[in-house]
Structure 1
Amino acid sequence: MSAVALAQAIGHRFADPSLLKTALTHRSFGSPNNERLEFLGDGLLNCVVAAALYRRFPAMPEGDLSRQRANLVRQDALHGLALKLKVGEYLRLGEGELKSGGAQRPSILADALEALFGAIYLDAGFEAVDAVINRLYQPLFEALTPGEVKKDAKTCLQEWLQGRKKALPKYHLLEATGAAHEQRFEVACEIENPPLRTIGHGTSRRIAEQVAADNALKVLKA
Structure 2
Amino acid sequence: METADLLERCYPGRRAELKRDIFRKALTLFNEQGIEATTIDMIRAECATSVGAIYHHFGNKEGLVAALFFTALDDQAQLRDSYLAQAETTEAGVYALVHSYVDWVDSQPEWARFQYHARFAVTKGPFKDELVTRNKARNKQLLTWLGASNRGEELGGMPNELILSLIIGQAESYCRAWLSGRVKSSPRIYRDQLASAAWRSLAPTDRA
Shared fold (TM-score greater than 0.5)?
no
Structure with more relative contact order (C-alpha pairs < 8 Å, separation 6 or more)? 2
TM-score (norm 2): 0.31
Please tell me whether Structure 1 or Structure 2 has the larger radius of gyration of its CA atoms: 1
| Structure with a larger share of its residues in helix | 2
| Structure with a larger share of its residues in strand | 1
